[in-house]
């Protein structure tokens, strides 16, 4: 949480969900820190790409190493809060995490009602499907 405060200026549930996505991706892709490449795109209902900061904390993917990119908002579905594409640089295996717009109200409630540590715990203990969907991703698929 301290690192989240230092990087982002505070520690909210959006950062926590980014950490959860990053940890989940590392486990599913059998990767260590610095082995993942991440592209994050905010949805139109998101106030900021805070989720990307959480993913950065968990995976150590960074803009300076060209392993973390944040794309402009307008091109994605208005019912989507955000999308993270996470690729194992060694194997090429890639996952797509989609945060539904409905996750925002849950995260906002936790930010309003809970303290930092409790926000983190709420995100880590929530059913994954209430926060994001995950699927294999192939950029070339039609």
Q: What are the tens digits of pLDDT across the range 14-67?
A: 999 999 999 999 999 999 999 999 999 988 777 778 999 999 999 999 999 999
Kindly report, residue by residue over 100-133, the tens digit of the pLDDT. 999 999 999 999 999 989 999 999 999 999 999 9
How many domains does the chain contain in total?
Answer: 1
Within a domain: residue 126? yes
Pairwise CA distance, residues 46 & 99, whole Å: 10
Within a domain: residue 56? yes
Range of the domain at 67: 2-136
Within a domain: residue 141? no
- The CATH number linked to 93 is 3.30.1330.130
Predicted model pTM: 0.90
The DSSP line for the chain is: -HHHHHHHSS--HHHHHHHHHHHHHHHHTT--TT-EEEEEEE-TT-SS-HHHHHHHHHH---TTTT-EEEE-STTS-TTEEEEEEEEETTT--EEEEEEEHHHHHHHHHHHHHS-HHHHHHHHHHS-HHHH-EEEE--TT--
């Amino acid at each position: 949480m301290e690192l989240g405060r230092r990087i982002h200026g505070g520690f909210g549930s959006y950062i926590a969900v980014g950490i959860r996505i990053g940890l989940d991706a590392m486990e599913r892709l059998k990767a260590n820190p610095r082995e993942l490449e991440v592209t994050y795109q905010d949805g139109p209902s998101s106030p900021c790409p805070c989720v990307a900061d959480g993913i950065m904390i968990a995976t150590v993917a960074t803009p300076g190493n060209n392993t973390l990119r944040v794309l402009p908002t307008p091109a994605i579905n208005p019912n989507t809060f955000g999308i993270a594409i996470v690729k194992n640089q060694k194997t090429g295996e890639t996952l797509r995490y989609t945060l539904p717009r409905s996750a925002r109200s849950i995260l906002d409630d936790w930010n309003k009602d809970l303290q930092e540590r409790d926000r983190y715990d709420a995100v880590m203990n929530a059913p994954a499907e209430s926060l994001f969907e995950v699927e294999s991703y192939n950029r070339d698929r039609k």
